[in-house]
Structure 1
Amino acid sequence: MTRRDVVFPAGRQALYERNRYSPAVRANGLLFVSGQVGSRPDGSPEPDLQAQVRLAFDNLNAVLAAAGCSFADVQDVTVYIVDPEANFEKIWAVVPEYWGEAPYPTLTGVGVTWLYGFQFEIKVVAKLPPATEGV
């Protein structure tokens, strides 16, 4: 069995080990990032929705940076939103702060009923810069 090339952002390894998943895995020139939520350092949800979205992006950016990437390297995005009818506009008001300029990555939005106490989750696939592949 091939050993996974796991990426851990600084200061969060214990959280991922406690919850038994990898924050990101490098494979074949791509970075597969687990869903990131607006969790505080102890893993608890940020209660304010827009602050939670900002923190989810901050957590995502920490994982990307740990792999030598940025949001500009993101090719595919999946977002999960609890009660999207009520929350989409509030969430999407924050997204341009992090999204960057066109051309944009692909996007799939999924409405869900439960996210472990969170209202928003973002999962991405990024292209690794050549110098970081297999690092």
Structure 2
Amino acid sequence: MSKSVVEIPEGNDVFGVSTQAFTDWQYAPAVRAGGLLFVAGLVGVKADGTVPVSVAEQTELAFQRIAEVLRLEGLGMGDLVEVVSYHVDLKQHLDEFLPVKKRHFIEPFPAWTLIGIEALGLPELKIEIKVVAALKG
């Protein structure tokens, strides 16, 4: 099976300076393989690299970044087949996360796994979301 990496264009309005993280941490934003698009865990970082305090805003930004990766591949949120979300302080923040998630998903819904964790890569991050989408054709 062959695979290919999705690149985020330099100067992308959604990712901005945060594209440097892919190089710094040595990972691809997304990989095409076996008719699927595997999108790395994305966090709620603004284009200028700052992290908002609210879980709702972090969640919105994470979904915007996911939607942008999908858009670059000619896909949309309706092409998702799996979503895995990682939550610091899950019980405390779920009420902020769920309404944002609900705005981004349409039926038929993708499979979803919800995981509570102790921490993410930066102490201010509270949410990380990875997805798998079905490629067209």
Q: Deviations over 1:16-70 (max 9, x none)?
A: 1122110000001100000011012243322221111100000111111111111
Q: RMSD over aligned Cα, in angstroms?
A: 1.7
Shift of 1:8: 2.1
Identity within the alignment, %? 34
Shift of 1:3: 7.0
For CA contacts below 8 A with separation 6 or more, give which structure has more relative contact order.
1
1:44 aligns with 2:43: no
Partner of 1:118, secondary structure, is coil
Q: Matched residue pairs, number?
A: 128
Residue in 2 that maps onto 1:25: 31
Aligned ranges 1:76-95 → 2 under 5 Å: 76-95=82-101
Aligned ranges 1:1-135 → 2 under 5 Å: 4-10=3-9, 11=12, 12=15, 13-100=19-106, 102-115=107-120, 116=122, 117-130=124-137
Give the TM-score taking structure 2 as reference length. 0.85
Extract unaligned runs of 5+ from structure 2.
none
Note if contact 2:2-2:33 (Cα within 8 Å) is conserved in structure 1: no
Extract unaligned runs of 5+ from structure 1.
131-135
Note if contact 1:15-1:43 (Cα within 8 Å) is conserved in structure 2: no
Q: Match for 1:129: what amino acid? A: K
Q: Match for 1:5: what amino acid? A: S
